[in-house]
Amino acid sequence: MRGRGNWKIRILIGLAIVAFAYFNKCSNTETNPYTGREQHITMEPEQEIAIGLQSAPEMAQQHGGLYPDEQLQAFVDAVGNKLVRNSIAKDTPYKYDFHLLADDQTINAFALPGGQCFITYALFKQLNEAQLAGVMGHEIGHVIGRHSAERIAESQYWQNIAMGASVGADAGSIVGAIGQNTLLKNGRGDELESDDLGVLLMIKSGYDPYEMIEVMKILKQAAGPNRVPEFQSTHPDPVNRIEKIKESIKKYQGA
């Protein structure tokens, strides 16, 4: 009888944790005014900006610091700021900065919460101006879409759900695996949304959006034959991204 009572208490505690996690998620759901998409967010834009500014020096250091050419840095800044100035990005509360990193081996670009955007020299040197605009537009899209803040909130949600399942029924590992798969799937959605926003920003700034497709070809070639399968990656396959980009171009050019 005593063991059964402990089991019931564990179930009740587990259900309470799950219920609290779900209530917290519902109470922190809001509509992104720039994308129109509902999101689970637990931080304010000011917090996103602070996280980005705090993390930027470390992220730059991991890629060899900034590229030591002020003219090229100014060029990246000019392209990025042109995209912001001519688009919905200018109406957001974020502080956009654009950084060219010295890393000449790793083909990469990324954005931190709040507006810090980076591109490695390894990728930069393969791009023309319009293609650079496509890459920077994509990274600005991550900021506008609040993707980092959303993933942080979702990760916390699934950790709490897994904790409740573990306390109540020793099923935490199963729920945790479901949560990881959900985060992977949503991560791929983030990339497609950023591509879509990148196309919009390019068009608004007078760049040829078809150059975004050329960027995808460069990324596909860089990944080579040993690319991680899409179902295991946070990034959709470049071929699939190209088809979605074509849809976005048709949507925005016809608007």
**For the segment 212-242, what is each residue's pLDDT rounded down to a tens digit?**
999 999 988 887 655 544 334 455 677 789 9
Lowest mean pLDDT of 151-160, 190-199, 209-218, 237-246, name the range. Answer: 151-160
**% the chain with pLDDT above 90:** 53
What residue spans define the domains of the chain?
A: 16-253
65, 99 contact by CB (below 8 A): no
- CB atoms closer than 10 angstroms to residue 56: 18
Alpha helix locations (H) across the chain?
2-27, 45-62, 70-85, 121-124, 129-144, 147-169, 172-204, 211-223, 238-253
Please give the pLDDT value at position 176: 42
Please give the pLDDT value at position 7: 53
Residue corresponding to tokens 């950084």: 99
14, 169 contact by CB (below 8 A): yes
Q: Does the pLDDT of residue 254 top 50, yes or no?
A: yes
Please give the pLDDT value at position 240: 85
Half-sphere exposure of 18 (CA within 13 A, CB side): 18
